[in-house]
């Protein structure tokens, strides 16, 4: 009975890992990159001056909003930090009573901006690292709700795969340090086990907390049972000070930096978001939210000030246990609290998870190839998995490299520049997929991995020779965060080259079909003397 | 600085766990560990992990320190895994021990 149970778990592991595996791979790549979201946001806008004094940048943002949207209903400002490329702002215009009902509201592009320290909008239009963050759970080119269901389903399968994997891999601690190298299937199995076991606490945590971030959508029953009114649930989760009624009397808004300083003292930590309701009106109100970097719980306390007098008018109720738990789990998932060391640990764990998914997908074909009746004519399902592996594991990183290249070479004034960068990613990935359909898988692996390596290496060369300010200037200015992006890309290029080289070596050994090798006289295999 | 010390602790701990195993002890020292040696290695490894936890808590505080320590344990384990399996010494002794390992595996299964 015991063996039967383990066998069933092994089968479940295989299929729960394989079917959502390709989606999981891109979720892992994007999520891993998103740990450097702000760094990539800066790296992809190289000409933007560095934020050295966040309060100065906030003043710049206030000037920008006062001239751009003085009569808006509300302003939202993400507090600039030294890691950020500038200040992200967006505003909600006053509702137009004459507008026909149901008319589309102005797009995000018209009501949001990224402004630099001086208060000028940043020239290079790009999604930057934010693209990876959104792509991690919203994917692209599909309605957000479908994407989240797909990502949620893949995560559930991932949790099943992790737990069945633990059951299947019986000698989890005994084989902890085992790596049988250059032994085909065994090496793949050991490698897959190593990436899984070494990062196991992370993999369990990230999958579980990832599901928690989508919990309200995946399992709405608890909320439905307790809250007849959805808005009430929302108000409990994210307390708001309530609507502001316009006084229709103009009054100057206080200096936001001054209010933020006061708020930091009262909340005992840095501020993450500033929301101004009815700016310029006598009823103006400023609501501050503590930064998610300040504690493990990602939804910080909030405090509201009168925008004209600076008096405290509201304070969020202390969070209850459920809200703190939910918030801490999301914090643990996103790692926003992390300093540089912690961020690197998250990043390395993310790479471990990516390798785990990739090696698992490849292992499926490696295991079955040895049992194929006719290796030259594998069954249809085998060929689909084999090609999908090349197309996704080889092709998606190529797309990311193309995304970075588009960021560098597209003219700054081109229309819909940010969208064209993303189009470059999917075009490159699409071409890669076409190639995998016409090329033998081994050639496909080498081509895609080699091309990605070249593109990544090329980026570092471009940043050194042509980009101004570029790699040389960053080193001179001691801007190590940006320097490290290029260093990491070069390391990835080296790793991909190594893998492509290994694939190349592998090819020469197993290309000959088995029966032919057995018939070769042993004498011919002896090295020439 | 204390953060670095915490990482060194977890790294040393997992190297000790590694050399306490027959396979890696043989690969790096040419012989299987004496029973007492393996035991002492494991005790030292656990001690090192606890010291590492202390360093992580001192560096990051209770909440982030615990998270960081778990991260450092994973990093130490991964780094020792690479060191033990890819060090030049492991490469040098890899070939001759292949046959020995096969027989030991056969007896295990």
Q: Which residue did the predictor score with more confidence, A40 or A518?
A: A40
- Report the pLDDT value the prediction gives residue A373, as an integer from 0 to 100: 84
Residue A296 at interface with chain B, using a CB cutoff of 8 Å: yes
Residue B54 has pLDDT above 90, yes or no: yes
B78: Cβ–Cβ under 8 A, 6 or more apart, which residues? A198, A199, A348, A352
Answer yes or no: do A348 and B80 touch at CB < 8 A. Answer: no
- 3-class secondary-structure state, position A114: strand
Q: What does the pLDDT look like over A468-489, one tens digit per residue?
A: 899 999 999 999 999 999 999 9
Residue B72 at interface with chain A, using a CB cutoff of 8 Å: yes
pLDDT (mean) for A446-471: 96
pLDDT (mean) for A493-507: 91
- Report the pLDDT value the prediction gives residue B105, as an integer from 0 to 100: 42
How far apart are the C-alpha atoms of A271 and A14, rounded to whole Å? 46
- Residue recorded with tokens 């290249």: A405
Give the distance from residue A184's alpha carbon to the nearest chain B alpha carbon, in angstroms.
15
A86-109 as b/e, with b when 16 or more CB fall inside 10 Å?
Answer: bbbbbbeeeeeeeeeeeeeeeeee
Judge whether A128 and A40 are in contact, CB under 8 Å.
yes
Torsion angle of the four alpha carbons A120, A125, A128, A131, in this order, in degrees rounded to the nearest 10: 120
Residue B104 has pLDDT above 60, yes or no: no
Indicate the pLDDT class of residue A3, thresholds 50, 70 and 90: low
pLDDT (mean) for A273-297: 92
Identity of the residue in A177, A181, A332 whose CB atom sits nearest the CB atom of B21 = A177
Identity of the residue in B63, B73, B84 whose CB atom sits nearest the CB atom of A177 = B84
Q: Is the dihedral of CA A410, A411, A415, A416 positive or negative?
A: positive
Residue A147 has pLDDT above 90, yes or no: yes
Residue A515 has pLDDT above 50, yes or no: no
- Report the pLDDT value the prediction gives residue A177, as an integer from 0 to 100: 84
Mean per-residue pLDDT over chain A, rounded: 89
- Report the pLDDT value the prediction gives residue A526, as an integer from 0 to 100: 53
A268-277, A381-390, B22-31, B88-97: segment of lowest average pLDDT: B88-97
How far apart are the C-alpha atoms of A245 and A518, rounded to whole Å? 87
Count of CA atoms in the C-beta half-sphere (13 A) of B62? 0
Identity of the residue in B17, B72, B80 whose CB atom sits nearest the CB atom of A345 = B72
Q: Which residue did the predictor score with more confidence, B26 or A105?
A: B26
Give the distance from residue B31's alpha carbon to the nearest chain A alpha carbon, in angstroms.
17
Answer yes or no: do B73 and A201 touch at CB < 8 A. Answer: yes
Residue A199 at interface with chain B, using a CB cutoff of 8 Å: yes
- Report the pLDDT value the prediction gives residue A108, as an integer from 0 to 100: 66
Burial class (CB in 10 A: 0-12, 13-18, 19+), A495: middle
Q: What percent of chain A has pLDDT over 70?
A: 93
Residue A173 has pLDDT above 80, yes or no: no
Judge whether A57 and A31 are in contact, CB under 8 Å.
no
* Residue of B67, B82, B98 best to disrupt the A interface, most CBs of A under 10 A: B67
* Residue of B71, B72, B81, B88 best to disrupt the A interface, most CBs of A under 10 A: B71
Give the distance from residue A496's alpha carbon to the nearest chain B alpha carbon, in angstroms.
18
Give the distance from residue A337's alpha carbon to the nearest chain B alpha carbon, in angstroms.
8
- DSSP one-letter code for A170: T
How far apart are the C-alpha atoms of B109 and A474, rounded to whole Å? 57
Answer yes or no: do A201 and B85 touch at CB < 8 A. Answer: no
How far apart are the C-alpha atoms of A134 and A130, rounded to whole Å? 6
Query: What residue in B sits closest to A297 (Cα-Cα)?
Result: B63
B13: Cβ–Cβ under 8 A, 6 or more apart, which residues? B44, B45, B46, B48, B49, B52, B76
Give the distance from residue A341's alpha carbon to the nearest chain B alpha carbon, in angstroms.
8
* Residue of A174, A178, A198, A205 best to disrupt the B interface, most CBs of B under 10 A: A198
Q: Which residue did the predictor score with more confidence, A521 or A49?
A: A49
Residue B77 at interface with chain A, using a CB cutoff of 8 Å: yes
Judge whether A217 and A149 are in contact, CB under 8 Å.
yes
Indicate the pLDDT class of residue A240, thresholds 50, 70 and 90: confident
pLDDT (mean) for A225-239: 81
A291-295, A308-312, A338-342, A497-501: segment of lowest average pLDDT: A291-295
Q: What does the pLDDT look like over B61-85, one tens digit per residue?
A: 999 999 999 999 999 999 999 999 9
Q: What does the pLDDT look like over A368-401, one tens digit per residue?
A: 988 888 878 889 999 999 999 999 999 999 999 9
* Residue of A341, A347, A351 best to disrupt the B interface, most CBs of B under 10 A: A341
Indicate the pLDDT class of residue A126, thresholds 50, 70 and 90: very high
Judge whether A187 and A166 are in contact, CB under 8 Å.
no
Judge whether A76 and A114 are in contact, CB under 8 Å.
no
Residue A247 at interface with chain B, using a CB cutoff of 8 Å: no
Residue B103 has pLDDT above 60, yes or no: no
How far apart are the C-alpha atoms of A177 and B84, rounded to whole Å? 8
How far apart are the C-alpha atoms of B72 and A334, rounded to whole Å? 18
Residue A206 has pLDDT above 50, yes or no: yes
- Report the pLDDT value the prediction gives residue B100, as an integer from 0 to 100: 43
- Residue recorded with tokens 């808004």: A253
Indicate the pLDDT class of residue A87, thresholds 50, 70 and 90: very high
- Report the pLDDT value the prediction gives residue A309, as an integer from 0 to 100: 94
Residue B78 at interface with chain A, using a CB cutoff of 8 Å: yes
Indicate the pLDDT class of residue A511, thresholds 50, 70 and 90: very low
- DSSP one-letter code for A374: -
Query: What residue in A sits closest to B71 (Cα-Cα)?
Result: A345
Q: Which residue did the predictor score with more confidence, A231 or A187?
A: A187
B-chain residues near A332 (CB < 8 A)? 67
Indicate the pLDDT class of residue A529, thresholds 50, 70 and 90: very low
Residue A112 has pLDDT above 80, yes or no: yes
B-chain residues near A338 (CB < 8 A)? 64
- Report the pLDDT value the prediction gives residue B109, as an integer from 0 to 100: 35
- Report the pLDDT value the prediction gives residue A350, as an integer from 0 to 100: 97
Judge whether A472 and A415 are in contact, CB under 8 Å.
no
- Report the pLDDT value the prediction gives residue A229, as an integer from 0 to 100: 79
Count of CA atoms in the C-beta half-sphere (13 A) of A359? 20
Residue A269 at interface with chain B, using a CB cutoff of 8 Å: no
Give the distance from residue A376's alpha carbon to the nearest chain B alpha carbon, in angstroms.
31
Identity of the residue in A177, A179, A349 whose CB atom sits nearest the CB atom of B74 = A349
Residue A358 has pLDDT above 80, yes or no: yes
Burial class (CB in 10 A: 0-12, 13-18, 19+), A465: exposed
A94-103, A355-364, A410-419, B90-99: segment of lowest average pLDDT: B90-99
Judge whether A138 and A148 are in contact, CB under 8 Å.
yes
Query: What residue in B sits closest to A177 (Cα-Cα)?
Result: B81
B-chain residues near A352 (CB < 8 A)? 74, 78
pLDDT (mean) for A130-142: 95
Q: Which residue did the predictor score with more confidence, A237 or A204?
A: A204
Of chain B residues 15-44, which have a CB less than 8 A from chain A? Answer: 17-18, 21, 23-24
Q: What does the pLDDT look like over B9-45, one tens digit per residue?
A: 999 999 999 999 888 888 888 888 888 999 999 999 9
Question: Could you tell me how far CA A468 lies from the centroid of its own chain?
Answer: 27
Give the distance from residue A319's alpha carbon to the nearest chain B alpha carbon, in angstroms.
18
Residue A516 has pLDDT above 60, yes or no: no
pLDDT (mean) for A327-344: 92
């Amino acid at each position: 009975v015991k063996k039967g149970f383990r066998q069933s778990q092994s089968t479940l592991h295989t299929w729960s890992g394989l079917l959502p595996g390709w989606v999981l791979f891109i979720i892992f790549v994007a999520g891993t990159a998103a740990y450097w979201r702000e760094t990539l946001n800066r790296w992809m806008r190289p000409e933007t001056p560095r934020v050295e004094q966040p309060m100065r940048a906030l003043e710049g943002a206030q000037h920008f909003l006062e001239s751009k949207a003085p009569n808006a209903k509300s302003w939202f400002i993400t507090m600039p930090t030294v890691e950020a490329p500038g200040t992200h702002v967006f505003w909600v215009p006053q509702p137009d009573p004459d507008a026909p009902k149901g008319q589309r509201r102005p797009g995000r592009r018209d009501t949001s901006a990224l402004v630099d320290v001086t208060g000028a909008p940043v020239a290079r239009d790009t999604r930057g690292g934010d693209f990876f963050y959104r792509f991690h759970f919203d994917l692209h080119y599909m309605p957000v709700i479908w994407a989240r269901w797909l990502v949620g389903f893949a995560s559930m399968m991932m949790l099943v795969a992790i737990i069945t994997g633990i059951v299947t891999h019986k000698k989890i601690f005994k084989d902890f340090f085992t790596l049988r190298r250059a032994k085909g299937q065994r090496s793949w199995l050991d490698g897959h086990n190593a990436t899984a076991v070494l990062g196991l606490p992370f993999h369990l945590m990230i999958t579980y907390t990832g599901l928690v971030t989508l919990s309200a959508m995946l399992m709405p029953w608890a909320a439905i049972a307790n809250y007849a009114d959805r808005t009430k649930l929302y108000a409990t989760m994210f307390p708001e000070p309530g609507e502001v009624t316009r006084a229709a009397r103009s009054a100057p808004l206080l200096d936001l930096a001054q209010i933020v300083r006061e708020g930091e003292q009262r909340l005992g930590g840095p501020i993450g978001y500033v929301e101004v309701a009815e700016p310029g009106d006598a009823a103006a109100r400023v609501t501050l939210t503590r930064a998610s970097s300040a504690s493990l719980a990602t939804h910080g306390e909030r405090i509201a000030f009168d925008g004209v007098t600076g008096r405290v008018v509201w304070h969020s109720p202390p969070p209850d246990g459920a809200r703190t738990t939910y918030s801490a789990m999301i914090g643990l998932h996103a790692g926003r609290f992390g300093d540089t060391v912690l961020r690197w640990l998250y990043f390395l764990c993310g790479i471990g998870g990516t390798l785990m998914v990739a090696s698992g997908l490849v292992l499926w074909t490696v295991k079955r190839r040895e049992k194929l009746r006719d290796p030259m004519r594998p069954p249809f399902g085998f060929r689909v998995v084999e090609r999908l592996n090349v197309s996704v594991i080889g092709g998606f990183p190529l797309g990311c490299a193309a995304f970075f290249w588009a960021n560098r070479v597209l003219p700054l004034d081109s229309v819909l520049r940010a969208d064209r960068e993303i189009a470059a990613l999917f075009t490159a990935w699409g071409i890669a997929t076409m190639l995998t359909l016409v090329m033998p898988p081994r050639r496909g692996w080498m081509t895609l991995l080699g091309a990605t390596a070249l593109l990544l290496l090329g980026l570092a060369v471009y940043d050194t020779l042509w980009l101004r300010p570029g790699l040389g200037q960053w080193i001179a200015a001691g801007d190590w965060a940006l320097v490290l992006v290029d260093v990491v890309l070069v390391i990835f290029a080296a790793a991909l080259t190594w893998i492509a080289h290994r694939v190349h070596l592998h090819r020469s050994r197993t290309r000959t079909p088995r029966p032919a090798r057995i018939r070769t006289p042993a004498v011919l295999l002896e090295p020439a003397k | 600085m204390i953060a670095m010390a915490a990482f060194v602790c977890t790294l040393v701990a997992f190297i000790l766990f590694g050399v306490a195993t027959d396979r890696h002890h043989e690969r790096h020292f040419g012989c299987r560990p004496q029973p007492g040696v393996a035991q002492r290695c494991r005790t030292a490894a656990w001690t090192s992990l606890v010291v590492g936890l202390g360093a992580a808590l001192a560096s990051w505080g209770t909440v982030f320190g615990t998270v960081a320590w778990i991260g450092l344990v994973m990093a130490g384990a991964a780094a020792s895994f690479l060191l033990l399996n890819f060090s030049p010494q492991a490469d040098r002794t890899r070939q001759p021990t292949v046959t020995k390992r096969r027989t030991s595996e056969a007896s295990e299964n």
